[in-house]
Structure 1
């Protein structure tokens, strides 16, 4: 091994490469790379000898475009990739290009998709030198120190927590202990390791990502959350989190996403929410929190929810059920989780004036078509926004290791590295194909809030379940000769291929006026004839309100176009305003009464409302991020005020004579889990 002192003056160039899953106008914040860079630079040798650059790409960026940006001005000495299932193949291709250009450079792969999978990685991509197993911050720092000292990349036995290639074999070093004191991980926000602003000084990402803690005490069979399943939870200090929130507040960041597996489980999470609210009181921002909420709802959770409601802090609460079938729960290892009774919890949310969405997984061993559809409709009686995802086999999970036991047949994705389940002991190929079409419409129309208000009135006033309506839409799209249905037929037929088909369909329905007109034709031709005559005018009104509250944005088309709508600043943010929306019924109030199990007054009552739509919606409506899109739905001025300054701002002069304030899905303080395509446990 070389003498460290002799290489102190040598400069090495390091690239950290990330690529998000969604192709959006705004980038996804490169938090993982930021941690690696900030922590590596705490080491004196690395700080003196290495220049570290983060290369962050959108989901739709091609391999050739990434290669040109990475290598046009020369190649770095070390290139490290943050690998997930959606970018595994792309990064393997870039590693091969790098090796052609720099035979002596180091290629490092890290991330949950490759941890513990070095044999396969090296077999598929022999250009990769090192795979990081587990948390990467300290390991990456040690690897850079080794490179600066001149160590051989094929003789890294002294670095814990890695696998590397040595004389044609794979060497895996000792496991590195989990980082107990998270304060040794430098903050990329406070150190400036991540560029937070664009050339205009505005926050450059779609949302701000934070971690308040790491670890998950559960071991669900489908999940490998951050490689920390079955682990005790470790927390970052409140002082650090406060300072990060202040940065985001000053930058007017609307939404903070806490990348935790079980937010609301620790008593300290209450303090974080208080710090978030205090930050908004000082700077007007942030105004929304999205996170993965604790599976079991303790007193801490209820305190947080009530406090957020009182403050008007927006979020989305998820009933992370995954299945209502007991056999499937057994295979998932969730039987002993003692989840709170979801029906009681959803009733409590209704009483508190809060909304939620739910998560289900299709295709778990033990589940059948019949049990799944019964569970879906049972759940939809309380929760219309149901995020339904197909089971995928992720590396290092129980399902992945027990494929033979469950009789699982799977196939790798066309453009990603996920294994998609095709069949098993309780699901045939034909049943799975049938259900994939249902999942397509459930995700596009219900989960992504293309329709939000209509579900409850259809069920309670017309006797149509949510699954019946979605299946009706599927049948109608297949049979109609309407030319605007062709794109949706095509997307539905390729739904098993991953997120691209869903994103394309959602974008079509939100941005193309032909898509909106198509929904109106479907309503007239297929749903309206099934409605009770006495209820038809009201349900027509609800359906129209669903469409008119969809987001608008500059550059849109038809009803989605915001160019001709006035723009105003309200409580520190800009909104497009649509004046004088006339309703023949008080739709928001009727919906609120139905949700709260009250008898609504269904008589025609004209109501005129002005609707306010947050500007900048294009990133939300062209992705599959349903947690974010709801923040761009049309709201009344009272609703905007509530989310800007909380209940303290209600009841002032602006409310005088306004009449009863509507309570609706866009207005409710919604509380959510971010479901990660890379095995995010919910």
Structure 2
């Protein structure tokens, strides 16, 4: 009688290929006995699927083994599944694996749950030995390596096996037919395992033998990429810890690009960039861009404070590379985003603000700031007392994590102020709502961006009658400020689409109350920002006749159609457009223009009202991380100045001087 094995994965994204399950099945079925004595089934759902529905589906299968991949984002769901499955499938065993559960049996399983096991370590060998014991009758799991389980109410731990030296010993689930009938459009894919760095907050950097990089063969990877891109694939996440660390990664990127040109697949690619290979990563980003693949190059700083980097054992991109990177990005029109974490040990509120300001001034692209999350099996997990961490569990029922809200360097009130400050930066800089004006104030008026963002953060806190300001404050106070892609993307959706006509008057109210508002140049650049604010979707929001663009004082909008408009700038101040809207490499194209066609729609997709909140948030953040391609394009036109505009110009000049 064959043993029925259900491989379960619960992901953020729908239609995600279950890579881990495929590896485990492929490695186990290398053994002819296992292949003949087992029946495998792949079961994937999104993590926000109803637990009751999943329970009914899994129980109906009456499987002998349920293997479940456990991560920070799905452990809340998985906890709800365990008791019902054990109670309603009395012959079943459950094996849990993944970074969230390793070494934490006492947290996740009770002494009476003696049919639940935890895999400690790399999964393939552990799972294979476990399945062999199940086939043999399951009488002595003490002989299986890498397990935690309760036996006679005593916690049993068996030694973990060594890592697989040659990754090609794992048969390819792509090339052996395991995924042939699996519908998917998104995939996480790896060409190597391991990470040489020791970042204390990261599971990849857990040290020991995991620091040694192990690679799948080039021949295998090339065949798998051929297979993947023949499946009408939309999104690939390169799951290697440092994409670009090997020269071969450039070759693989070119292979993907060639397939994308030929087959239209994949459409999107993302990756975790090699920490000290900026030129290689830039070359990879250029390859994807040339192939029409949507990609934004990540720059993982986490902090710009040297003391912080020392405390978290972080080897970072050298500070003198920032200017070089910014110049290369600008010249080649490549999107980028910077990853930061708040609050890390050693970081103060002031150093955090200064770090974000440096990034804004260098024009490195969107800033994505993550919370400090206490991940099991990381060095930081064991330093909670040393660094004075106070933690909070998010309200999200799916999430099983602890976020840091206080350290030896930051009080809880300062933590909240830092989150508020980051949201101000996200709104004014990432979303482009005050990008031109903030640059002018910083460079010409000696008003640091740090102060502008702080003032706006304080303004939102003081004006809770505004729906968006209330939403942000509620997010900080009631939900602990657990900033993730969903919350940042939802913020973008509200400001750039759903509540656009409400936000712009609120922003005007803020700037008009500032002491520098008497500066007429600042007033005109605010109008430039109004016209330069991007749209998130190709479906433009329904807007009334009183929308802000119809009430500009200095700039004349002479043609406003769906997805574009034509604007005339006071000729005396046409130099502001190339100075604050364009990159340095584009300035010469528009030095003499005072009339522009502003094109808003580039590669956005239509808004789908049927999308869930999670889908809206994920799309929004993905587009903001590709901010350069989202921003409107200002095309200089032959000057078509009207008589009224000429008169307005003269009046404007008189007012300024």
TM-score, with length taken from structure 1: 0.78
Q: Does the 8 A contact of 1:385 with 1:452 survive in 2?
A: no
* Contact 2:206-2:379 within 8 A present in 1 as well: no
Q: Which moved more, 1:617-626 or 1:402-411?
A: 617-626
2: CA distance between counterparts of 1:218 and 1:453?
35
1:388–1:443 Cα contact (<8 Å) kept: no
Whole-Å Cα distance in 2 between the matches of residues 123 and 603 of structure 1?
Answer: 72
Three-state SS of the structure 2 residue aligned to 1:276 is: helix
1:44 maps to: 32
Alpha-carbon distance between aligned partners in 2 of 1:246 and 1:418, rounded to the nearest angstrom: 37
Give the Cα separation in 2 of the matches to 1:638 and 1:428: 40
Given the superposition, is the C-alpha separation of residues 489 and 366 from structure 1 closer, same or farther in structure 2, using an over 3 Å criterion?
Answer: closer
Counterpart of 2:11 in structure 1 is 20
Structure number, greater radius of gyration: 2
Pair 1:551 & 2:537 matched:
yes
- Within the alignment, does 1:58 sit opposite 2:46 as a pair? yes
Shift of 1:623: 2.7
**1:57-105 CA distance string (max 9 Å, x none):** 223223223212322x243111111111222232122111111112331
Q: Is the 8 A contact 1:189 1:244 kept in 2?
A: yes
Matches within 5 A, 1:62-461: 62-71=50-59, 73-123=60-110, 126=113, 129-152=116-139, 155-194=140-179, 198=183, 204-205=184-185, 207-225=186-204, 231-297=211-277, 300-301=280-281, 303-308=283-288, 310-311=290-291, 313-334=293-314, 341-382=321-362, 383-414=364-395, 415=397, 416-442=399-425, 449=431, 454=436, 456=439, 459-460=442-443
The alignment partner of 1:191 has SS state of coil
Secondary structure at 1:359's aligned position in 2? strand
CA distance in 1, matches of 2:319, 2:105: 36
1:78·1:106 contact (CA, 8 Å) conserved in 2? yes
Offset of residue 365 of structure 1: 1.6
CA pair 91-307 structure 1, distance change in 2 beyond 3 A: closer
Q: Which has the higher contact order (CA 8 A, sep 6+)?
A: 1
CA distance in 2, matches of 1:218, 1:370: 28
- In 1, the alpha carbon distance for the partners of 2:501 and 2:619 equals 23
2:622 to 620, 628, 635: 628
CA contact (8 A) 1:320 1:360 kept: yes
Answer whether contact 2:234 2:268 (CA < 8 A) is retained.
yes
Residue range with higher mean Cα deviation, 177-186 or 624-633: 624-633
Matches of 2:468 and 2:393, distance apart in 1: 32
CA, structure 1 residues 241+170, in 2 after alignment: closer, same or farther (shift >3 Å)? same
Structure 1 runs not aligned, ≥5 long = 1-9, 199-203, 561-576, 640-657, 661-682
- The answer to whether the 8 A contact 1:388-1:442 is kept is no
Contact map agreement 2:532 2:632 (CA 8 A) in 1: no
State how far apart, in whole Å, the 2-side matches of 1:498 and 1:432 are.
Answer: 11
Q: Is the 8 A contact 1:295 1:339 kept in 2?
A: no
Distance 2:212 2:446 in 1: 47
Q: Structure 2 CA distance, aligned partners of 1:79 and 1:616?
A: 39
Query: TM-score, normalising length from structure 2?
Result: 0.80
> What is the CA–CA distance in structure 2 between the aligned matches of 1:333 and 1:216, rounded to whole Å?
13
Matched ranges for 1:657-672 at <5 A: none
**Residue matched to 1:496:** 480
2:512 maps to 1:533:
no
Q: State the Cα distance separating 1:353 from its structure 2 match.
A: 3.2
- Aligned to 2:298, the other structure's residue is in SS state strand
Note closer, same or farther for the CA distance 1:601–1:534 as it changes in structure 2 (3 Å cut). Answer: farther
- The alignment partner of 2:595 has SS state of coil
C-alpha contact 1:437 1:492 (8 A) present in aligned 2: yes
Structure-2 change in CA distance of 1:49 and 1:510 (3 Å)? same
SS for the counterpart of 2:66 is strand
In structure 1, the residue corresponding to 2:242 is in which secondary structure? strand
C-alpha root-mean-square deviation of aligned residues, in Å?
Answer: 3.7
Distance 2:316 2:493 in 1: 41
Alpha-carbon separation, structure 2, partners of 1:134 and 1:425: 33
For the 8 Å contact 1:456–1:594, the answer to whether it is kept is no
Seen in structure 2, the aligned counterparts of structure 1 residues 632 and 306 have a Cα distance that, compared at 3 Å, is closer
Q: Does the CA-based 8 Å contact 2:440-2:522 persist in structure 1?
A: no
SS in 2 for 1:104: coil
SS of 2:42's equivalent in the other structure is strand
- Give the distance between the partners of 1:221 and 1:297, measured in 2 at CA: 21
* Number of residue pairs the alignment of both structures matches: 600
Q: For structure 1, which segment, 74-83 or 39-48, has the greater mean C-alpha deviation from structure 2 after superposition? A: 39-48
Provide closer, same or farther for how the CA distance between residues 407 and 506 of structure 1 changes in structure 2, counting only shifts above 3 A. Answer: same
SS in 1 for 2:300: strand
- Compared CA separation, residues 461 and 315, structure 1 to 2 (3 A): farther
**8 Å Cα contact 1:614-1:633 kept in structure 2:** no
